[in-house]
Structure 1
Amino acid sequence: MSSKSKKRVVLPSRPDPPSVEQILEDLGKATPNDPVFSVLQDAPQDRAADSVVESRYQQSQRYLELNERLQQAKGELATKRDELCLAGERLEQSVAETHGVRTCIS
């Protein structure tokens, strides 16, 4: 027997999709152990996954904001450090001049 000798089976055409009313009627007749309810029970898990993703996104955003503030603070501290170094040098010069004046008087 070859495959050429077999007759092809004609499949029936697909039915039209159900209307909203038919779906609602079907859901109304469904029993509590119907698979549709187990699918609906999985939905909160999807929301939980979305919540985790949202939480990670918020953490990332917060990290970026804090990192930007840290970089700004770093720049401000560098400026203040330079100002303090300059003030320290001026103070040392002033002390040296004051000490030199006392030496002249002595």
Structure 2
Amino acid sequence: MSSKAKRVLPTRPEPPSVEQILADVQGTHPGDPIFLLPTEPCRDRGPSPGSPSPAVDEREQLYWQSRSYVEMNQRLQESQEQLREQCEELRQAGMALERGISEMKQKAF
């Protein structure tokens, strides 16, 4: 038997009501990052009138660079696994070829 006492976890709070959610959404600033849709930044044009500040553009660019890095890293890992599998297949084919050659030499002599 264990001498440890059972821990009683606090109960979860009730989810917010629709009215609370609507009040929360209506009380937010329009520039809140949660309401900004990520878009691929245009790099060939200058800032257009009403465009976000350079700090926002810089964050957006860093976001897309980070996302690109993560996707490239995933592709590299997948490629590495494919190369491992292909290398193993080539090793097995090489061993089978060597066995075939040695069998043919034995039959010839």
2:97 maps to a residue whose letter is: L
Of the candidates 69, 78, 81, which is equivalent to residue 72 of structure 1?
Answer: 78
Q: Take 1:92 and 1:86, find their aligned partners in 2: how far apart are those partners?
A: 10
Q: Give TM-score scaled by structure 2 length.
A: 0.52
Tell me the number of residue pairs that the alignment of Structure 1 and Structure 2 aligns: 60
Which string of whole-angstrom CA distances, capped at 9 and with x for unpartnered residues, describes residues 22-53 of structure 1?
xxxxxxxxxxxxxxxxxxxxx97x61111111
Q: Give TM-score scaled by structure 1 length.
A: 0.53
More helix by share: 1
Runs of 4+ in 1 over 4 A off after TM superposition: none
Give the equivalent residue in structure 2 for 1:13: none
Q: RMSD of the TM alignment (CA)?
A: 1.6
Structure 2 alignment gaps of length 5 or more:
1-49
Structure 1 alignment gaps of length 5 or more:
1-42
- What percentage of residue pairs aligned between the two structures are identical? 32
Of the candidates 37, 59, 65, which is equivalent to residue 59 of structure 1?
Answer: 65
Rg comparison, structure with higher value = 1
Counterpart check, 1:92 vs 2:98: yes
